[in-house]
C-alpha cells in the first residue's frame, strides 16, 4: 500500500484492505450503532405495548444481558472482531424475542388469572438450547474466529435466556402487580 500510494491516481483495492477498512469503520461507530439500535428497539416496544412500564420490562433484561456479555468477554479476553459484531446483532435480536415472548406470557397469565403459562418458558428454553447447540458446535473448529463466534454465542444466548426467565418476571411483578395494581388479587 505504501509503495503504490506514491503514484497519483492509483487506488489499491483488495480483500484485506476492504476488510480492514470495514472493520475500522464498524469498530469506530460500534457504540453509536448500538446506542441508536437500542433506542429504536425501545421505541418499537413502546409503540407495540403502548405503556412505558411494559416496554421497560421487555427492554431492561436486554440491557443488563448486554452489560454482562461485555463483562464476561472482557474477563475472558475475547476481543470484538467483525464476526462477533455481526453475531452481537443476532444475539440482541434473539434476546428481543425471548423478552417479548416472556412479557406477552406474563400479560396473558395476569389477564387470565391462570397462573404461569408453562409452555412459554419451555418454548423459549428449547429455542435457546437449539441455538446454543447449532452455534456451539463451532467451538470445535480449528479457526480462532469460529471459536470466538461459538463462545460469544454460547455466553450471549445463555445470559439472555436466563435473564428473560428470571429478572423479567421480577420486573413484571414489581412494576405491574406491586406498583400499578396494588391491593388487588393477582
pTM of the model: 0.77
> According to the 3-state scheme, what is the secondary structure of 10-50?
CCCCCHHHHHHHHHHHHHHHHHHHHHHHHHHHHHHHHHHHC
The answer to whether 183 and 64 have CB atoms below 8 angstroms apart is no
Cβ density class 134-151: b for 16+ within 10 Å, e for less: ebbebeeeeeeebebbbb
pLDDT at site 58: 92
pLDDT at site 114: 64
Spatial distance between the Cα atoms of 82 and 84, rounded to a whole number of angstroms: 6
Give how far Cα 45 sits from Cα of 42, 48, 52, 98, 137, Å: 5, 5, 9, 13, 33
pLDDT tens readout for residues 106-120: 888 888 776 666 788
Instruction: Indicate the pLDDT class of residue 39, thresholds 50, 70 and 90.
Output: very high
Given its phi and psi angles, is residue 79 left (phi above 0), alpha (psi -120 to 50 degrees) or beta? beta
Give helix then strand counts, H and E, for the chain. Answer: 6, 0
pLDDT at site 112: 78
**Which of 9-13, 14-18, 71-75 shows the lowest mean pLDDT across its residues?**
9-13
pLDDT tens readout for residues 130-172: 999 998 899 898 888 788 888 888 998 999 999 999 999 999 8
Amino acid at each position: 500500500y505504501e509503495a503504490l500510494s506514491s503514484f497519483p491516481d492509483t487506488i489499491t483495492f483488495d480483500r484485506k484492505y476492504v476488510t480492514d477498512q470495514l472493520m475500522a469503520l464498524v469498530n469506530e461507530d460500534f457504540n453509536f450503532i448500538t446506542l441508536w439500535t437500542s433506542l429504536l428497539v425501545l421505541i418499537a416496544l413502546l409503540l407495540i405495548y403502548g405503556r412505558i412500564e411494559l416496554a421497560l420490562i421487555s427492554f431492561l433484561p436486554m440491557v443488563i444481558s448486554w452489560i454482562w456479555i461485555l463483562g464476561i468477554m472482557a474477563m475472558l479476553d475475547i476481543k470484538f472482531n467483525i464476526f462477533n459484531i455481526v453475531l452481537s446483532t443476532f444475539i440482541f435480536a434473539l434476546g428481543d424475542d425471548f423478552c417479548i415472548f416472556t412479557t406477552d406470557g406474563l400479560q396473558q397469565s395476569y389477564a387470565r388469572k391462570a397462573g404461569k403459562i408453562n409452555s412459554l418458558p419451555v418454548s423459549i428454553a428449547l429455542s435457546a438450547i437449539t441455538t446454543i447447540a447449532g452455534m456451539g458446535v463451532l467451538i470445535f473448529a480449528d479457526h480462532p474466529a469460529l471459536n470466538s463466534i461459538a463462545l460469544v454465542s454460547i455466553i450471549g444466548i445463555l445470559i439472555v435466556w436466563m435473564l428473560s426467565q428470571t429478572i423479567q418476571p421480577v420486573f413484571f411483578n414489581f412494576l405491574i402487580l406491586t406498583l400499578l395494581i396494588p391491593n388487588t388479587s393477582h
